[in-house]
A and B are shown apart, each in its own frame.
Chain A
Amino acid sequence: MNKKTYSIPIGPVHPSLEEPMTFNFEIYGERIEKVYLAPGDNHRGIEFMGRQRNPIQIIYLAERICGICSASHPFAFCQAVENAAGIEVPERGQYIRVIIAELERIHSHILWAGIAGHELGFDSVLYISWRAREEVLDLLEYLTGNRINYGVFMIGGVRRDISEEQIPRIRKTLEYYKDVYGKIEDIFLKDPTIALRTKNVGVLTKEDALRLCAVGPTTRASGIKKDVRQDQPYSAYADLEVKAITPDVFSGEINGDVYDRIIVRLLELVQSIQIIEQCLENMPSGEIVAEKKLVKLLNQLKKAKGEGIGRHEAPRGEVFHYVKLAEAEVPEIWKARAPTYNNLMPWAPMLLGEQIADIPIVVASTDPCIACMDRVTILNKANGRKDVLTKKDLHELSVQKTRRITP
C-alpha cells in the first residue's frame, strides 16, 4: 500500500480563525500525521514600542495587545510597575479591578462558546451566545464607558469608581446570566451531537499538559489544578474564595478532550458570577487610586528603580508581565508573556491522529489569541534565509538576555 502523505497549508488568511496564522499539516488519507506551526504573521513589535513610551502611555498600549483580553494585560502590567516602584493599591481599587476582570472573563468565555459552536457547524449557537454576550458588553460600557478597550486601569488603582447606584444594574446582569447559563449548558452539555463531535477529540493528557506548560482552561481540562487566582492570590482574590475548576466536578471523569474544555469554561462562567457577587458584598469604601495626580505619579515612576512582575489569570490562562525601571522616563525592559504562547505547543499532541474536519474545533478549543502571542521570526536579510533555532540556541539566547537584564 502506498504510504505517501501529502501536505495541506492553511493560512495565514483563512475563514475559520479571525487572526492570521499559518499551519502546515502532513496528511495521510484523512488523518493528521505531522503538524507544523508558523506563527509570526501578527507580530507588531509592541514590547519595542513600549520601550520608547512612559509607563502611563504603555497602559494604553498594553490594552491593545489583544482586544479580547483588554483588562488582563493592563492588569498584569500595572501590577508589575507597582511591584517595581513599590506602590500600594487601595483596597477599593483592588476590588474594582477584580470586578472588571471577571466581567471580561464572562464576555470572553461566552464569545468562545459562540466560536466553538461556529467551528462545529452549529451556527445557531453562535447567534444565541453572541446575543447573550451583548448584555455584559452593555454593563461594561455602563461602568467604564467602552465596549471593548475599557481604559479603566491605572498604575496604583483604577480610573473609575463603581457608585452605589450602579450596583443594582450589575446585579441585574448577573441574574440575566444565571438564566442564560441554563440555556447554554443545555446546548453544550446535554446535546448529543456536540458530545459526539467533541468527546475523545483533541485529547491532551495530563503528562503532556505538564511537560508543555499549558495554562488556563486548557490545562485544567486535563486535570491539573493550576490557577493563579488560587495558587498565588493577588489583588482582591486573596479575600475571595477561588478554586481551580477541573471537569470531574461535573462529569466525574477527566479525559482532557474538547468536551472537557467546554465543561471547564462553562463552569468558570458560574464561578465568575459568584466572584463578582462576593466582591459587591464585601467592597470596602475609600480611595480607588493611590496617586490621583498623573504628573506626580510620572515623576515618582521616573525616580523609581527596580524590577517587578505582574501575573493575572486571564480568560485563556496566566498572563505574565515583567518590567524593569531604571530611573528613566521609559522602562528599560518590558516583557509580556500571553497565555496562548504556552498553549501553542499542546496543539501538536492534540491534533496528531485526528481527522482534517476536526482541525477547526481542536484549534479553537484552546481559545487561541494570536494577537497576544506573536513573536519574531529570525530572518537573515543578507541571504534571505530563515534560520531555524534549536532548543540549545534558544536556551543560549535566553541566558544572554537574562545576563543583559540583570548584570
Chain B
Amino acid sequence: MRLNKYFERSLWVFHLNTGSCNGCDIEIVAGLTPRYDLERFGIKLVGSPKHADVLLVTGPVTGRMLDRVKRVYEQTPDPKAVIAVGACGTSGGVFYNSYNLSGSIDKVIPVDVYVPGCPPRPEAIINGVLQAWIKLEKLRESMEAAPAR
C-alpha cells in the first residue's frame, strides 16, 4: 500500500553539529530511538554527507566550523534539503553577541526548513524532516520534468 506519493523512497539524513550545546543533538537521536521511532519511515542517520538527502544542521556555526559547513553542503548530492534545528541554528538565539559565531546557519548555507525551540521536541524535529521530505520530492519532480541540459 502506498500512503501517498511522497512515501516512495527512504530518506537518509546527515547530522552536522556546528557548535551546538548537545541539546538538539540528543533530541535528534531521541527522535530515532523507540519512543518516537523515525526509522519506521525509513529515515536514518548516515555517516557521510555523500550518502545523504537531507542535512540536519544544529548550532550557531563557530569560527572553525564555518568552512567545514560549506564543504559538507557542497559534498551533499542534489537534490538536497537543509534543516536548521534549534534556536541558535535558526537565529543565533541565546548566543547573539559572541566573537566566534556566525549567528545563524542561513548566513552560511541556504536553509529550507527551520525548526525553532531550545531544544525543539522530537515531534517538532520529525515534523521538520517531513516538511523537508515533501519539499525534496517536489524538487525532484521539477528536476525530472525539466529538459536535460
Chain A interfacial positions (CB closer than 8 Å to B): 12-15, 18-20, 40-46, 48-49, 52, 60-61, 64-68, 70, 111, 114, 126-127, 130-131, 133-134, 137, 147-149, 369, 371, 376-377
Residues of B within 8 A of A111 (CB): 26
A130 and B34 contacting across the interface, CB-CB below 8 Å: yes
B94 and A130 contacting across the interface, CB-CB below 8 Å: no
A12 and B71 CA atoms in complex are apart in Å by 12
Indicate whether A66 sits within 8 Å of B22 (C-beta atoms), given known contacts A15-B48, A44-B62. yes
A227 and B22 CA atoms in complex are apart in Å by 25
Residues of A within 8 A of B65 (CB): 12, 20, 41-42
Most buried by B among A15, A42, A371: A42
Q: Pick the contact of B35: A44, A131, A369 (CB < 8 A).
A: A131
Residues of B within 8 A of A371 (CB): 19-22
Q: Does B116 contact A (CB under 8 A)?
A: no
Closest B residue, CB atoms, query A61: B94
Q: How many residues of B contact A (CB 8 A)?
A: 40
Residues of A within 8 A of B111 (CB): none
B98 and A49 contacting across the interface, CB-CB below 8 Å: yes
Indicate whether A41 sits within 8 Å of B62 (C-beta atoms), given known contacts A131-B33, A149-B119. yes
Q: How far is the CB of A11 from chain B (nearest CB, A)?
A: 10
Residues of A within 8 A of B101 (CB): 44-45
Closest B residue, CB atoms, query A18: B25
Q: Pick the contact of B99: A13, A45, A149, A377 (CB < 8 A).
A: A45
The residues in B between 18 and 34 inclusive whose CB is less than 8 angstroms from any CB of A are 18-27, 29-30, 33-34
Chain A interface SS verdict (over half):
loop
Indicate whether A148 sits within 8 Å of B23 (C-beta atoms), given known contacts A43-B64, A130-B30, A134-B35. yes
Nearest 6 pairs of A and B residues by beta carbon: A67-B23, A15-B47, A130-B33, A67-B22, A45-B98, A131-B34
B68 and A13 contacting across the interface, CB-CB below 8 Å: yes
B33 and A127 contacting across the interface, CB-CB below 8 Å: yes
A64 and B48 CA atoms in complex are apart in Å by 28
A43 and B101 CA atoms in complex are apart in Å by 9
A377 and B100 CA atoms in complex are apart in Å by 11
A70 and B72 CA atoms in complex are apart in Å by 29
Indicate whether A369 sits within 8 Å of B22 (C-beta atoms), given known contacts A44-B100, A45-B99, A131-B33. yes
7 new A-B contacts at CB < 8 Å, known A41-B19, A111-B26: A13-B72, A19-B25, A44-B60, A49-B98, A67-B22, A148-B119, A371-B20
Q: How far is the CB of B82 from chain A (nearest CB, A)?
A: 15
